[in-house]
Amino acid sequence: MSKVSARTYSRYSLEAISLLGKLIRAARKERKMTTQEVADRAGISRGLLQRIEKGNSKCELGATFEVATIVGVKLFDAEVTTLTKHIRQTEDKLTLLPKSVRKKVKIADDDF
Amino acid sequence: MSKVSARTYSRYSLEAISLLGKLIRAARKERKMTTQEVADRAGISRGLLQRIEKGNSKCELGATFEVATIVGVKLFDAEVTTLTKHIRQTEDKLTLLPKSVRKKVKIADDDF
DNA sequence: ATATTACGGTCTATATATAAATCATTTATC
DNA sequence: GATAAATGATTTATATATAGACCGTAATAT
């Protein structure tokens, strides 16, 4: 017992997670797949799939994305090839950016 | 020790996770935020943020989405209002679909 | 060049997500 | 209506993700 972390997330994040879960659930039913079927294909337990569809924020990222892939919910609205290309582009951008972010160390913080 | 689960995910899922991490990293740098800054705002540890940017599939879904939101990486390329609307639509579709998926219980499985 | 800070990695303790089994309920098919 | 399956929910044991501290290194600004 004794809750320590108690992380709380923004409304947008929670809504996004909720939507992803609902999309997965809808896609699964449209494809007429049972929860057990999808869980097996994803290599996870049925209980975890239920939590994912329910929009539980504490699920594993990999499990969630895998389930989404299985039922046909595209992340980033992109195919695999496009995805790979997108990764390359982001990597290129990354190399151009400074490797380390340096904060203004001046007298006063000009944050707002 | 003694690995038990050893879940493995599809190439697409792993690429999507990798891309998301890279997008987060790029967005963070473009906004000139340090890892510590983002981690604090997200209420997570710096180490977890590093794993998220690295594309680790075993990160918490909520933490990942929260970080993405903070650095401005839009999930579903949609704003909050659009997101909420999208949720409604999905819910509507959900109510129309049969509540339970029923498998053909015929003589032979016609799986392929 | 030097100082300072961001970053990457490692280690440990703890909280907790997960798998698996079980039961009750709902739902589809007969 | 009867039957069987799918779903929802709960419980327990175990694996593991996470926080927090630390260190060394790399990178930026002076």
pLDDT (0 to 100) of residue A5? 57
> Cβ distance A26 to A58 under 8 Å?
no
Interface with chain A: mutation pick from B8, B10, B13, B57, highest number of A CBs within 10 Å: B13
B11 touches chain A (CB under 8 A): yes
Closest CB from B23, B61, B87 relative to A64: B61
Q: What's the CA gap between B87 and A16, in Å, rounded?
A: 9
Q: How far does A108 lie from chain B, in Å, by closest CA?
A: 17
pLDDT at A2 over 60: no
Average pLDDT of every residue of chain A: 88
First to last CA, chain A: 39
Q: Check residue A57 and report its DSSP letter.
A: T
Confidence of residue B110 (pLDDT cuts 50, 70, 90): very low
Residues of chain B with pLDDT > 70: what percent? Answer: 85
Give pLDDT tens digits for B60-85: 999 999 999 999 998 887 777 788 89
Residue A66: which residues within 8 A CB-CB, separation 6 or more? A42, A43, A44, B9, B10, B13
pLDDT digits (tens, 9 = 90+) for A82-102: 888 999 999 999 999 999 999
Say yes or no for a CB contact (<8 Å) between A83 and B34. no
Percentage above 70 pLDDT, chain A: 88
Closest CA to A84 of B19, B75, B56, B74: B19
Q: Distance (Å, rounded) from C-alpha A92 to C-alpha B29? A: 13
Distance from CA of A53 to the nearest CA of B (A): 12
Q: Which nucleotides of C are covered by protein (CB under 7 A)?
A: 4-11, 14-21, 26-30
Nearest neighbour of B19 by CB, restricted to A30, A77, A86: A86
What value, to the nearest 5°, has the Cα angle with vertex B47 and ends A19 and B36?
90
Residue A60 pLDDT > 70: yes
Average pLDDT value for residue range A2-10:
72
pLDDT beyond 50 at B43: yes
Q: Which residue has the tokens 């390359």?
A: A88
Helices first, then strands: H and E counts in chain B: 5, 0
Global pTM reads: 0.89
The answer to whether A34 CB sits below 7 Å from nucleic acid chain D is: yes
